[in-house]
Structure 1
Amino acid sequence: MSTTAPSTEVRPDLLADWLAAEADMSQRMLAGAGPGVARPDQLVGKTGLEMMQAMLAGELPYPPIAKTVNFQLMEVALGRAVFQGRTGPALLNPMGTVHGGWFATMLDSALGCAVHSMMPAGRGYTTAELSVNIVKALTPKVPLVRAEGKVLHCGRQLATADARLVGPDGTLYAHATTTCLVFEMPSR
């Protein structure tokens, strides 16, 4: 099977769109609940998609790890989640490229949130398996990347999803798959 390589031409219009969306989302989330963990009473009766949408609207706190690893949720829809992240010196390994753990964390977040968006009220999930393939090194010269996770299957006990990490010029930096265990959430 042949594949067509993405264009390596810089797309200033797309980069500008990504930067504008990031600024808007950051402002909305910071003006809202800020970083933290939602209380159980805030989540009762909400589907996974409703929880994620409330987070994007600033009605629920966003996970503190987003600040730690310098990425954030940008979009969510049923079976789909998009994260955007910035590289930088704090994320570099001794070779001067972005540490593989950052790739894995960003991709796992996109995968997990895509699965989360499929959960009915009272159901949860956890990552059981994560496979990450880094196909191109990332350096701070790449200003932004996006990870888009999409659910492939969501059943009563298992869910699978895949994700791609790309730059605004279409360059693929990594791709990943996950298998998640799906379960009834315990009463709190």
Structure 2
Amino acid sequence: MNTADTLADWQARQQEVEARQHEVGVARPDQVVGRSGLQILQAMVAGELPRAPISRTLGFVIVDLAEGRAVFQGQPKFDHYNPLGTVHGGWIATLLDSAVGCAVHTLMEPGKTYTTLELKINYVKAITHKVPLVRAVGEVIHRGGRIATAEGRLVGADGTLYAHATTTCLIFEAQPPTKP
């Protein structure tokens, strides 16, 4: 598939997902209890649970999920620029952190959760608003009882690698919802 076709497919997928996601916020405990991490994320993509506020603020969305894998997509904008005239590394890091963290999230059983212990980013090529879309693809490397690791790559529709990342996450029991 050529770059134009890949870009068209990516744009169509983003429009499809965003058309279902009308609510922005944080899911209530009663909406997620008894669901696996993958089921929670799938419900967000389907528009059954609210999408995270950060995704609207920074202009990115989950476009694909599978066990041990999460794909986020975003459009670099001038609003994301640093003083050097390129997209800020924090925007790139947030996209990659979301992809690798959610890849781990897809492997959480009901009642389990995780937090990031470490995130390492390698920036290999600057991004400007002239890059129409980028995808952060996160994949789990290892999932143990207490620790999970994942890696991610931020790429353009033409296959250009802009950054890559690794993460280490701590897995633990989710706190049961508290009664008011």
Q: Same fold (TM over 0.5)?
A: yes
Give 4+ residue runs of structure 1 displaced > 3 Å after superposition: none
Alignment correspondent of 2:32? 43
Q: CA deviation at 1:10?
A: 6.5
* AA of the residue aligned to 2:133: L
Alignment correspondent of 2:20? 28
* AA of the residue aligned to 1:13: D
Alignment of 1:13 onto 2:43: no
Query: Which 5+ residue runs of structure 2 have no aligned equivalent?
Result: none
Alignment correspondent of 1:136? 125
Secondary structure of the equivalent of 2:21? helix
* AA of the residue aligned to 1:16: A
* AA of the residue aligned to 1:59: E
Q: How does 1:76-155 map to 2 (within 5 A)?
A: 76-155=65-144
Distance 2:13 2:36 in 1: 25
Alignment correspondent of 1:180? 169
Distance 1:174 1:25 in 2: 24
Distance 2:2 2:36 in 1: 39
TM-score scaled by structure 1? 0.92
* AA of the residue aligned to 1:19: Q
Distance 1:59 1:141 in 2: 33
* AA of the residue aligned to 2:99: A
Secondary structure of the equivalent of 1:93? coil
Distance 1:87 1:181 in 2: 30
Distance 2:108 2:127 in 1: 33
Distance 1:136 1:154 in 2: 30
Secondary structure of the equivalent of 1:49? helix
Distance 1:135 1:35 in 2: 32
Query: Which 5+ residue runs of structure 1 have no aligned equivalent?
Result: 1-8
Secondary structure of the equivalent of 1:175? strand
Distance 2:174 2:18 in 1: 30
Alignment correspondent of 1:162? 151
Q: CA deviation at 1:95?
A: 1.1
Secondary structure of the equivalent of 1:104? helix
Q: CA deviation at 1:77?
A: 0.7
* AA of the residue aligned to 2:53: P
Q: CA deviation at 1:176?
A: 0.1
- Post-superposition Cα deviations, 1:101-153, rounded to whole Å, max 9, x if no partner, equal 01110000000100000000000000000000000000011010000000001
